[in-house]
Amino acid sequence: MHYIFKGTGNASAKTLLLLHGTGGNEHDLVPLAKNFGDDINILSLRGNVNENGMPRFFKRLGMGIFDEKDLEFRTHEMVHFLKEIAEKEGFDSTKIIALGYSNGANIAGATLMLHPDFLAGAILYRPMQPFRKMENVKSKSHTPLFFSSGKNDPTVKVESTNEYLEILNNNNLDVTFHEINTGHNLTQEDVELSVNWFKNNF
């Protein structure tokens, strides 16, 4: 996978994993990362899937309809890649906090389900439930999770968000939820709320 890594030189530092939205790339979220402090590593990935020239982290069958077999494969692939990159770049793979927007938030959510307790935490902006049938995979470490949705988001239904939140809570994830008065776009309010959450948890 194409990636950008900006290390602190501290082997015990936490790593913020940046996962872009559809059509983005590994450069998109790097400017946002500076809000989280200068004592963390930054690792930004580019999705391996190409949809009509737009990078994504997994295939979809239509708008809001995921190719779940590909999502499962790509999630395992990403976690394997992260473990390899941790050795290569010299960071602690047990201290990765994912930050994903839209498509990136969805593969981060899939990681929380398929590899519970791999991530030390996650920030999900505008996520959707990754799998129609979600397994009961209780988090042993009660992984802290920031989740923000757009009140007027045409992509994600409120009912679906509520169902997803219930599943996450039932799987022992420590969820902090915010509904932002906006659509699917990312706002400064999302960033400020997630930075405060990050400082409180890490």
Q: Which CATH number fits domain 3-201: 3.40.50.1820, 3.40.50.300, 3.40.50.800, 1.10.357.10?
A: 3.40.50.1820
| Contact yes or no for 152/184 (Cβ under 8 A) | no
Cα dihedral sign for 186, 22, 24, 16? Answer: positive
pLDDT at 62: 81
Specify the DSSP class assigned to residue 35: G
Residue 64: pLDDT band by 50, 70, 90 thresholds? confident
Radius of gyration of the chain (CA): 15
pLDDT in tens, 166-194: 999 999 999 999 999 999 999 999 999 99
Domain extents in the chain: 3-201
Distance of CA 65 to the CA centre of its chain: 18
What's the rounded Cα separation, in Å, for the pair 178 and 149?
A: 7
What's the rounded Cα separation, in Å, for the pair 28 and 145?
A: 22
pLDDT at 11: 87
pTM of model > 0.85: yes
> Comparing C-alpha atoms, which of 94, 180, 79, 99 is closest to residue 140?
94
- What is the set of active-site residues? 102, 153, 184
pLDDT at 133: 87
What's the rounded Cα separation, in Å, for the pair 39 and 111?
A: 25
For residues 26-54, give the mean pLDDT: 96
| Contact yes or no for 183/150 (Cβ under 8 A) | yes
